[in-house]
Amino acid sequence: MASKRRIAIVAHDICMVAGAWFLAYLTRYNFQLSTIAWPVLWQTLPVVITLQGLILWRFGLYRGVWRFASVPDLWNILRAAALGVFAIALTEFLINRLTGIPRTIFLLYPMYLVLLLGAPRLGYRIWKDYRQGMLNGANSKRVLILGAGRAGEMLARDMRRDGSYIPVGFLDDQPTLKGFKVHNLPVLGTIESLPEIAQDHALDLVIIALPSATTAQMRRVVEICEQAGIEFRTLPSLHDLGAGQPTVAEVREVNIEDLLGRTPITLDWNRISKGLAGQTVLVSGGGGSIGSELCRQIARLRPAAMVLFENNEYNLFEIERELRGKHPDLVLHAYLGDVRDRASVVRAFERFQPQMVFHAAAYTHVPMLESQAREAVRNNVLGTRLMAQTADRFGCNVFVMISTDKAVNPANVMGASKRVAEIYCQSFAKRSRTRFITVRFGNVLGSAGSVIPIFQKQIKAGGPVTVTHPDITRYFMTIPEASQLIMQAAVMGEGGEIFVLDMGEPVRIGYLAEQMIRLSGKTPGEDIEIVHTGLRPGEKFYEELFYAQEEYKTTGHDKILLAHSVVIDWSMLTADVRAIEDAVERYDEGEVHRLLKRIVPELAAQQSISNVVPFERASV
């Protein structure tokens, strides 16, 4: 069927070429061809058809589909007509020095050719669009597009072609656009006027076509949509769209990342690629939220090999399968091991000889670890020590430890254990040829065990949504953003640094819960209750990114800050870590707590403060 259609199109275009040449002659001779002109016309026609047909083929006029003919097709026709008339004139000059051919023919012919090739294509598309619209009109949704820029314009055009939506107009915050038309659709006003416009135009849906909008702008637009009480969708951000063009298929629901994420970061990909390409990279905790995303990002940079070091069999299986599917040429080793198992860790380093290590394996559940300090330090402290010592023993170039903002003035065992790991790596860097680098950041959106999946399950179940305290705040960052900044810090560090990722402004967890409820189409406090349950053991009202004495400074990247090194007595530190190891062997949790407070005295201070913070249980 497709070949028959292509033959028909070729035949049509050949006829149009002959027709354009014929019309050019008729026009030149005022539609009264002389006995001299006729023979010349017929003699030149085979040359015209052959040359112009080949040029039309070369410009891809037969690869396109008339149903979707557009500006690129017209541009190809114009170029083909211009090149064709030049080729015809040159060939006829070489054959007979243009004897008997009026020069005006070479001006008239391309104009007729563009008209005869372009008009049928345009007419066919208009007819198909109209017919599709008639078929789908009964089920189509009336849509208002927020944003009359390039994305909105392309979306409106695709809607008309698709037929499942009927665009009725635009709203845009540029006052000068009001009253103008885009694709014959009016710009009805500013986005603030949405509630009134929605009532006047019987809208079914609003689509936010602002892919370059900042988080603050998206929050404002979403609030206006909620006030209007109308269903809304959005286009992905510019970062997510990439080189693609906005289409109806790209339209999706607004998610919480749209409201909490920030302007896409700019990375020095050239430097990152040079630092990682050709290296054997080991990622501990490679099946976790951060570890798996690190693996995805690193796999794109052509490492010599990648080692996925993970103790969760299912997570390891999933990330290995994903990476093998997307990167079939990647040398990939899935290694089931535990960072606390000396034999397993040493075997992995002996076998694969990694040159870079990203240590993302950690226990991170604050309330659970508060009552299981032994397991927290066994994994986060002793596991980190074992990985660091083994990396040093086998001559790794770089060791990157993934830390957390909970390590700053920690009020819980998890934060204190990560702080000890920070101190150990920072101090060990002074005694090793391996570059030990620590990267510290806050919560990541959607990570395993984070608040967002919990809220999603509670909303799906009909509530209530549980928030520990109405004033509690946290820093948030997307998983890809955190992973990319970790890689940037890895190639920036000289060794011994603690890099801190700029997390923007902290977000009130109550606001997060309210927005997630609204995005699900419910009303907080009416459809789904928000219940305040009180601070959990080890939980703080707010997190910090720096100690006061760290005196942070900027780096070459505006999203990465550098914490000033704190000098620690190495012999005392190693003695305390050995004492922790002895307490772990004896399962002496009391001694583990005492040693944590000795190494990280801020833990005792924060816990004493948290014990006197009053709280009244309430619900809304």
Whether residue 613 is predicted with pLDDT greater than 50 in this model: the reply is: no
Return d(Cα 6, Cα 171) in angstroms, integer: 42
Whether residue 202 is predicted with pLDDT greater than 60 in this model: the reply is: yes
447 and 568 share one domain: yes
Nearest one of 485, 504, 554 to 268, comparing CA atoms: 485
pLDDT for 616: 33
Nearest one of 492, 498, 502, 527 to 513, comparing CA atoms: 527
Most confident of 12-21, 91-100, 271-280, 391-400: 391-400
Q: What is the dihedral of CA 264, 268, 274, 277, to 10 degrees?
A: 0
340 and 202 share one domain: no
Average pLDDT of the segment spanning 113-142: 67
Average pLDDT of the segment spanning 76-103: 84
Cβ 60 vs Cβ 86: under 8 Å: no
pLDDT in tens, 451-467: 777 888 888 888 788 88
Whether residue 240 is predicted with pLDDT greater than 90 in this model: the reply is: no
Most confident of 163-177, 181-195, 351-365: 351-365
581 and 457 share one domain: yes
pLDDT in tens, 42-55: 888 888 888 888 88
Residues 6+ apart with CB under 8 A from 300: 327
Number of Cβ within 10 Å of residue 614's Cβ equals 4
Least confident among 223-227, 278-282, 498-502, 540-544: 540-544
Most confident of 31-40, 208-217, 309-318: 309-318
Residue 365 maps to a domain: yes
pLDDT for 69: 53
**Which DSSP state fits 89?**
H
160 and 34 share one domain: no
122 and 148 share one domain: no
pLDDT for 215: 74
375 and 498 share one domain: yes
94 and 213 share one domain: no
The torsion angles phi and psi of 280, rounded to 5 degrees, stand at: -90, 115
Residue 269 maps to a domain: no
pLDDT for 132: 53
Cβ 340 vs Cβ 508: under 8 Å: no
Percent above pLDDT 70 for the chain: 81
| More confident call, 559 vs 80 | 80
pLDDT band, very low/low/confident/very high, at 435 (cuts 50, 70, 90): very high
77 and 151 share one domain: no
The structure tokens listed for 343 are 């034999």
Average pLDDT of the segment spanning 497-508: 77
499 and 451 share one domain: yes
Domain boundary among 133, 149, 171: 133
| More confident call, 300 vs 558 | 300
Average pLDDT of the segment spanning 281-310: 93
Least confident among 246-255, 472-481, 574-583: 246-255
Residue 267 maps to a domain: no
pLDDT for 617: 29
pLDDT for 393: 96
Average pLDDT, the chain: 81
pLDDT for 524: 81
pLDDT for 134: 47
| More confident call, 111 vs 126 | 111
Residue 620 maps to a domain: no
Residue 619 maps to a domain: no
How far is Cα of residue 285 from the mean position of the Cα atoms in its chain? 22
pLDDT for 614: 35
pLDDT for 357: 96
Q: How many domains does the chain have?
A: 3
How far is Cα of residue 106 from the mean position of the Cα atoms in its chain? 52
Residue 615 maps to a domain: no
216 and 357 share one domain: no
Return d(Cα 148, Cα 157) in angstroms, integer: 12
Residue 616 maps to a domain: no
pLDDT band, very low/low/confident/very high, at 4 (cuts 50, 70, 90): low
pLDDT for 549: 59
Using the CB atoms, write b or e for 30-52: b if 16+ within 10 Å.
eeeeeeebeebbeebeeebbebb
Whether residue 566 is predicted with pLDDT greater than 90 in this model: the reply is: no
Least confident among 209-213, 385-389, 395-399, 571-575: 209-213
Q: Would the pTM of this model clear 0.85, i.e. be above it? A: no
Average pLDDT of the segment spanning 502-524: 77
pLDDT for 444: 72
| More confident call, 221 vs 238 | 221
The torsion angles phi and psi of 217, rounded to 5 degrees, stand at: -65, -40
Cβ 580 vs Cβ 381: under 8 Å: yes
Whether residue 238 is predicted with pLDDT greater than 70 in this model: the reply is: no
Peptide bond into 470 cis (omega under 30): no
221 and 98 share one domain: no
Percent above pLDDT 90 for the chain: 26
Domain boundary among 81, 115, 133: 133
pLDDT band, very low/low/confident/very high, at 577 (cuts 50, 70, 90): very high
Phi-psi region of 184 (alpha: psi -120 to 50; beta: other; left: phi over 0): left
Least confident among 66-80, 182-196, 465-479: 66-80
Residue 265 maps to a domain: no
pLDDT for 612: 38
Say which CATH number the domain at 565 has: 3.40.50.720
Name residue, tokens 């103790």: 311
| More confident call, 219 vs 239 | 219
Domain boundary among 133, 162, 187: 133
pLDDT in tens, 131-150: 555 444 445 678 888 888 88
Whether residue 41 is predicted with pLDDT greater than 50 in this model: the reply is: yes
pLDDT band, very low/low/confident/very high, at 65 (cuts 50, 70, 90): very low
Instruction: Give residue 380's domain range.
Output: 275-610
pLDDT for 350: 96
pLDDT for 542: 60
522 and 490 share one domain: yes
pLDDT for 618: 29
Q: What is the dihedral of CA 488, 492, 496, 501, to 10 degrees?
A: -40
pLDDT for 351: 96
Cβ 9 vs Cβ 66: under 8 Å: yes
pLDDT for 34: 66
Average pLDDT of the segment spanning 180-194: 80
pLDDT for 571: 92
Whether residue 262 is predicted with pLDDT greater than 50 in this model: the reply is: yes
